[in-house]
Amino acid sequence: MIRGGNEIISKSVEAIKNDGFYFIGITGEKGNGKSTLGWWLEKEILSKVGYELDFVKDMDKLLNHLIFTIDDFFSIKKRDTVKWDDGRVCVAIWDDFGLHTSSYAFLRGEGDKVSDFVEMFEVVRENIAVLIVTAATFDLIPPKIRNSPNIVLDVYRRGRAKVYNKKRLLWFELVWKAFKSEITFDDVPKQFYNEYRKIKAKAIDAKRMMRVIKLEEKAEKLASKLTKSDWENTELLIAYGICDIFGNITNFGELVKKYYNGGNGRSGSDVLKMSFRKFVEEYRQCGLKGDNNKLLRFYNRLKEVGYVEEVS
């Protein structure tokens, strides 16, 4: 059960019925129950627009409103969610919102997605009537979104949250300092919570795989331009992240090594082992011309990139 928050629920219902948009931010430390509060709000809001859903019996329908990534956000209308007469999703809950939209996402190579989302945020109301997001803090979220919530609930301890309105300190600065009221709420049924954990685990695994894919792409690109002499330059290997400062090969370094040795045709028997003299003979046998100085430069270049290994 949730106690308090009647005005929030009322304004959410108004947004659903009148083509509006209501943005609720929920902050707080890990384990305090940010997601739990979000689910109670979702359940209460939906009950006010004619959908009495039970946490256990209607588990799938309630969990179908969860968003974990920017891709989830863009595809939510395709899901079997509770929609209003205008086709919009009544309520969506974005779990760990800051993880995917913060400044750090740019460092993870997801800058394009974040930029697209920030631009699209102006038209969120076309797809979603009420958006509830949870985040440890809003500090790292892009400014355009940071000041957008209509209300912020700070879950300061398990089952208790303070409601804050915007307050203008300076003409250019908005902060969430105007304390308004307090909300208390119970835990959700264990069965529902366990199902949520399974879905979240899938999202985390997918996120981990995305990181591996990006590392694979980066490793393959780097391996294609490394030369044999580069592998002997410890400072360069550390700079690329192939080795740590103690000279031990990193996980990323293992990927680069894999592509260098096997991913681009330079593994084992694929490497030509021949002397310069033999190289010239084979070159002439093919009817090709060129003076020995040019051939030597070509031979040295092939050695440098790892296609030829010199033998006596």
Q: 242 and 165, same structural domain?
A: no
Q: Is residue 245 part of a domain?
A: yes
The two structure tokens encoding residue 30: 């890990």
Per the CB < 8 A criterion, the answer to whether 34 and 24 are in contact is no
DSSP assignments along 137-163, one per residue: -STTS-HHHHT--SEEEEEEETTEEEE
For residues 290-308, give the mean pLDDT: 75
| 267 pLDDT tier (thresholds 50, 70, 90) | very low
Q: 160 and 21, same structural domain?
A: yes
Q: Is residue 220 part of a domain?
A: no
Residue type, 213: I
Least confident stretch, 89-103, 119-133, 213-227, 252-266: 252-266
pLDDT of the residue at 302: 74
Q: What is the pTM of this model?
A: 0.69
| CATH assignment at residue 71 | 3.40.50.300
* Residue-wise pLDDT tens digits, 143-159: 777 778 889 999 999 99
Q: 174 and 59, same structural domain?
A: yes
For residues 288-292, give the mean pLDDT: 72
> Could you tell me which of 177, 122, 176 has the C-alpha nearest to residue 145?
122
H or E element at residue 272: strand 272-273
- How many angstroms from the chain centroid is the CA of residue 127? 21
Q: 244 and 96, same structural domain?
A: no
| 167 pLDDT tier (thresholds 50, 70, 90) | low
- Which residue, of 158, 188, 218, is where some domain finishes? 188
Q: 162 and 268, same structural domain?
A: no
Q: How many domains does the chain have?
A: 2
pLDDT of the residue at 140: 67
Q: 162 and 257, same structural domain?
A: no
Per the CB < 8 A criterion, the answer to whether 28 and 183 are in contact is no
- Quick check: 276 pLDDT over 60? yes
- Quick check: 171 pLDDT over 60? no
pLDDT of the residue at 265: 44
Q: 170 and 254, same structural domain?
A: no
Q: 168 and 36, same structural domain?
A: yes
- How many angstroms from the chain centroid is the CA of residue 253? 23
CA distance 304 to 302: 5
For residues 256-269, give the mean pLDDT: 63
Q: 124 and 28, same structural domain?
A: yes
Q: How many CA atoms lie within 13 A of 229 on its CB side?
A: 5
CA distance 163 to 42: 17
pLDDT of the residue at 273: 75
- Quick check: 107 pLDDT over 70? no
- Quick check: 269 pLDDT over 50? no
- Which residue, of 188, 218, 241, is where some domain finishes? 188
Between 249 and 304, the higher pLDDT residue: 249
Q: Is residue 98 part of a domain?
A: yes
* Residue-wise pLDDT tens digits, 28-82: 998 899 999 999 999 999 999 999 999 999 999 999 999 988 788 888 888 888 8
Range of the domain at 21: 2-188
